[in-house]
Amino acid sequence: MTREPTRSAADTTRRRLLAGVAAAGVVGTAGCLGTRSGPVPAPTVTSDRIEDGWRLVDETEETVFEQAYGPVTVRALAATQLYEYVSVAEALAEVTDGSGSPVVFFATRIDIRPAVDTLPVGGARDRVMSRAESAAVDAFRAQLSNGGIENVEVVEEGTTTVTGDHTATTWRLEGEYPISGSVTGRDGSTSSIDASASVEAQLGVWHDGTDVLVAGGAYPSEPLASVIGDALPGPVDGETAITEIAGSDAAETLATDPATFEEEISALLVSVT
């Protein structure tokens, strides 16, 4: 992955999105993108990983912006799918009686109507794609916030190649995931947990020749078992405590190396079409 200075994020992303539109005009039958009518097709996660351990928890459709550019009113419609990693969500619920998970993935398709290739070259296209990029980043932040991830900050920008040989602008972000609730041990004793796990997130935005695609996910950057163990009273190993509370499967899940989740998110991100 090639890294670039974060200060050029907006300009760089806009140029890449516009390049994707321009490329569509000279490749095969994509000479005219046209304007789609009806519902926005849901994005597709082509990696088999999405069938192994992930579950779809929400699907949404929304108008992300509507604005006049001269005589033309442009609407950007989005279809989003949100997934969570099942074993982590269930283990956390078993341990803390809470809901949600810091291991999530989402994919969004943004359909711009009328199609970008029908707009005048230059200012209008540039402004529309800039607005689409901003909407994509805002949507990602909202997804993280809705999932309980707080204090999200961008720490790095780069590029990667996604399915279809398109170039995506990528961001790495950091945040925090609060873990709170009451923990009841097998001996009947109850302890309160009030902790926060460090979280990393990845985001990618690109133009596939027809639509703007957005994909991203989040995962803990430290084992959740360690965070929970540190929050429990007295000197206690987190994995041992979780085993006593919820069993060995939950303990093993919450002790997962963060690199495992990072690999999952990276593979899913580049597979979206």
Q: What is the pLDDT of residues 184-216, one digit of tens each?
A: 666 667 778 889 999 999 999 999 989 999 999
Q: How far apart are the C-alpha atoms of 120 and 118, rounded to whole Å?
A: 7
Q: How far apart are the C-alpha atoms of 226 and 213, rounded to whole Å?
A: 36
Other C-beta atoms lying within 10 Å of the C-beta of residue 128: 25
Q: Please, how many CA atoms are within 13 Å of residue 68, restricted to the half-sphere of its CB?
A: 2
In terms of Cα–Cα distance, which of 184, 269, 182 is closest to 219?
269
* Pairing outcome for strands 212-220 and 150-162: unpaired
What residues does each domain of the chain span? Answer: 2-28+40-269
pTM: 0.84
Q: How confident is the model at residue 224 (pLDDT cuts 50, 70, 90)?
A: very high
Q: What is the pLDDT of residues 129-142, one digit of tens each?
A: 888 888 888 888 88
| Residues 103, 105, 108: CA angle, nearest 5 degrees | 160
